[in-house]
Chains A and B, each alone.
Chain A
């Protein structure tokens, strides 16, 4: 077995047992589980879930109709959400007994003033919730227009729109539709890209740690008597890159487990059928971006005298790589703006910028070609320079290499 593979195997086996790696790998599925519960809650499923788990009954909003006509009786479609009370004392008693969560008291002069009193137990947060609730608005509109206008018009006034989202590509062709389209063409590729970018940072962070530790513990000189600096660097990049891919695989498998396979199938199959180039290019940019940052992190690890110092040096490169995220809110509306294109062409920001842009819009082919060529050309340069700095920095114990020393090492044959 070649020495590069032995190093890669060693790095992989050592790092996969690190506590930091295990926590980082488990935290994403745990967050997924939390997100699943939250989305279930807002989708109304949590109520059923909690009811099933704890035998709880759903709670309604109490209504006292002092106007005497508009909300009496409550329409059938709202019976599960709203409960009518004869007067305020009875409603308050129900609120205190936790039979309802909130009280809506429609005042006598409601038609003239629109005045509604909201009473909650403990905090006034419920009033804000009612004010912003589309469901509460529909409840009021539906009841106010009952019997006054055509039922179809009343229905439309209560629920004025049902959005269908479509996108148009450069050729003028309409694609997708509805929230599923949004999920498959934007959300999933965006978060897949986000996870890949995060993995680049995590894996290259392990590389920084590995190099820094070998230098700090002085084991590096023994290793360098057995292998060249280039072999050591290459072995570490491969081993820790494989570690990053393992992490992604675990995340995907956990997503499969959490959603009984549906989310994973959607994440992999639908984008592949819909916009296969997004996922394929995401993997290409992952590999190129990881290689570039891994070498930079290894060189940073070699230059610092301690782990902390190495992290400070590496922070310069991390800031550059994270720059596209700093402008991501601007990118949502302008994914092909000049700034986005410039950052795509610059190799140190190219991989992360393209991973962000690709799911958002049809990125011009020239941008993809130029950014990939930029990365492909810069990787050998960074590998060459990184290996030299790596070799020079590794054997400088107790003092950090100065800039002239770094330049000198690049000049040496």
Chain B
């Protein structure tokens, strides 16, 4: 099993009697993109701020890169939800200053800043003031700022907020590149299509507690409706004994019995010479799982 880069155990955080994080536990493994999900006010930002050592937990244990929060600041990149930059500083100067705060030497910081500005298409803006940039450009600059010191772990809170589709694709590709480089990423976003495209594992938080946690594929498999959609010209009667089946237009929809797998169904169809034009195991979008789980938890 991969090494745990972020270990959170029984985390508790209260503000004036309100419990923001309530006994939360999860692990983020090295080289993974980990989705930290939840509705507004679920406790995501509080959890992130505790990980980043901006807030102190009331109780529980947090280890970041095998150290207590704050001890490994220089190896963590952070893109906060509440973001902003020094508006009157020049674009390159902002990156260099933030890199130096993370312990990078001046020359190295300037070189790294230039590389990242090129990667996010802002090279021509390097000498301009931040306030001259558009909102989307500032967003990309902020993204670059979280990577400027070449961190091992990057925590991103809503990295796609305010971006157009082209820049969303750019950031998505950069996150995939980071994963290929072995970086670990904690991604908090409401754009669940991005979670499905990028995340290996997720934790869904509601009212400060974990309500769904694990491998994304396993979760999706668990919540899948156990149906298989088959497109065939073969008569319905020849396969009706395999599993309950309904015709939906040109397709047959099989509902698998407990213990049966799609592979078993496909094997039987092949054995019976059913001409299969299409075979699709039905899945459920993460968004539907999110809504169902949160609603169920909130109604308790």
Contact = CB atoms under 8 A, between A and B. Distances in A.
Contacts of B89: 14
Interface in A1-30: 1, 3, 6-7, 10, 14
A152 B262 CA distance: 131
A413 interface: yes
A404 B76 CA distance: 33
Contacts of A412: 56
Contacts of A404: 16
A331 to B, nearest CB: 42
B82 A218 contact: yes
Contacts of A217: 84-87
Contacts of B85: 217, 219, 222
A405 B15 CA distance: 9
A226 interface: yes
A332 interface: no
Contact of A226 (B16, B49, B102, B142): B102
B98 interface: yes
A228 B87 contact: no
B54 interface: yes
Nearest to A395: B54
A225 B84 contact: no
B99 to A, nearest CB: 9
Contacts of B52: 224-225
Contact of A10 (B53, B73, B97): B97
Interface in A203-248: 214, 217-219, 221-228
Given A225-B73, A226-B73, A405-B16, A219 B78 contact: no
Interface in B32-70: 49, 52-56, 70
Main secondary structure, interface of B, reads loop
Given A217-B85, A219-B85, A222-B145, A227 B101 contact: yes
A233 to B, nearest CB: 14
A259 interface: no
Contacts of B102: 226
B77 to A, nearest CB: 8
A222 B80 contact: yes
A392 to B, nearest CB: 10
A269 interface: no
A6 B82 contact: no
A115 interface: no
A211 to B, nearest CB: 13
B101 A3 contact: yes
Nearest to A217: B84
- Which 10 pairs show the lowest CB-CB distances between chains A and B? A218-B84, A217-B84, A225-B78, A226-B101, A221-B80, A225-B52, A219-B84, A218-B82, A224-B54, A6-B100
Interface of A: 1, 3, 6-7, 10, 14, 214, 217-219, 221-228, 395, 397, 404-405, 408, 412-413
Interface of B: 16, 49, 52-56, 70, 73, 76, 78, 80, 82-89, 97-98, 100-103, 142, 145-146
15 contacts: A1-B100, A3-B103, A6-B97, A14-B86, A219-B83, A221-B54, A222-B80, A223-B101, A225-B52, A225-B54, A226-B98, A227-B101, A404-B16, A405-B16, A412-B56
